[in-house]
Amino acid sequence: MKPRLVACPLCGKPSLYNPDNRYRPFCSERCKLIDLGQWASESYSVASNETPDSPDAPTESDHQ
């Protein structure tokens, strides 16, 4: 069976996509950690249709 290669989501280099690559889908630990840091610093976000005034939106008292 031919190894499956995918583009690393961060740098675009070919990355082996199977259990032997412990950093998959990334090509290296470096790319994986950079991506994790971008999530941690909130550089990435997920779009939402809710507005802050939405009745379902959490309020300050919900966080206490």
pTM given for the model: 0.65
What are the extents of the domains in the chain? 5-40
Where does 1-64 show beta strands of DSSP type E?
5-7, 14-16
CB distance 3 to 16 below 8 Å = yes
CA distances from 3 to 6, 16, 37, 51, 54 (A): 10, 7, 29, 45, 48
Q: How does pLDDT run across 11-59, given as a tens digit for each residue?
A: 999 999 999 999 999 999 999 999 999 999 988 888 888 776 656 656 6
Looking at domain 5-40, its CATH architecture is 2-Layer Sandwich (3.30)
Q: How does pLDDT run across 15-25, given as a tens digit for each residue?
A: 999 999 999 99
